[in-house]
Homo-oligomer: A and B are copies of this chain.
Amino acid sequence: MLEASNLECVRGERRLFAGVSFRLACGEMLQVQGANGSGKTSLLRMLCGLTPAAAGEVCWRGQPIGKLGEEFRGELCYLGHHNAIKEELSPLENLLAAAALAQESLDEDAALDALEQVGLHGRADLACRYLSQGQKRRTALARLVHEKRPLWVLDEPYVALDPAAVELVSGLVGAHLQRGGLAVLTSHQAVSVTAGALRELWLGTAAASYGRI
């Protein structure tokens, strides 16, 4: 489904990585690993089409994502370093607004249910400004609860979460894989998914192997 071939990333005068290739099928998850600054975030943004690659190509269902455009974006769910939530709005409103933006239908009950699942019941109507760091991240992650699009790209989803929440998110990703979804994620913590195949990709000199896969 998702295929990257010979990706190269150049930042400033630095070549972060080159020749990164992999292929990801349904039900598989790719964990991108590497030291700080090895280019994980850059790689993920390339996979989404946010940053152009210096060389190489990303294909989705066999076609380059640049060509697919909206068709590809309609199947992609990206979660970056930033939470993409508005501090003024409540978690509930944020969740509904995010769904509307992605042209998904999410009714209020489903949204409330999602928030409850990520442990924010009782906070659903409090402006996000007042939430703790971890609660903000949970709000952002609540999108995943009812997310049905096949490709998830998650950049350090576990940051700021407590262990219980980490487990919960792992469960969500596991369920997604079991449904036949794909996931690409980065994390400095060990990732345990309950289902699906886990593949790893090491960036940078740490393992001295571009594309061990």
A126 within 8 A of B: yes
Copy number in the complex reads 2
Q: Is the CB of A165 within 8 A of B135?
A: no
Q: Of all chain B residues, which has the CB nearest A40?
A: B132
Q: Is the CB of B36 within 8 A of A138?
A: yes
- CB-defined contacts of A119 to chain B, threshold 8 Å: 35-36, 210-213
Given contacts A36-B138, A138-B36, A162-B36, contact A213 B11 (CB under 8 A): no
Q: Is the CB of A117 within 8 A of B35?
A: no
A12 within 8 A of B: yes
Q: Of all chain B residues, which has the CB nearest A123?
A: B37
Q: Is the CB of A36 within 8 A of B116?
A: no
Interface contacts beyond A117-B212, A166-B188: sample of 16 additional A-B pairs, CB < 8 Å, sorted by A: A35-B119, A35-B134, A35-B164, A36-B133, A36-B134, A36-B162, A37-B132, A37-B134, A40-B132, A41-B132, A116-B211, A118-B213, A119-B210, A134-B188, A159-B159, A163-B188
Enumerate A126-176 residues with CB–CB distance to B below 8 Å: 126, 130-135, 137-138, 156, 159-166, 168
Q: Of all chain B residues, which has the CB nearest A35?
A: B162
Shortest distance in angstroms between A46's beta carbon and chain B's nearest beta carbon? 15
A86 within 8 A of B: no
When chains A and B are docked, how far (Å) is the Cα of A117 from the Cα of B161? 28
A206 within 8 A of B: yes
Q: Is the CB of A160 within 8 A of B36?
A: yes
Q: Of all chain B residues, which has the CB nearest A209?
A: B122
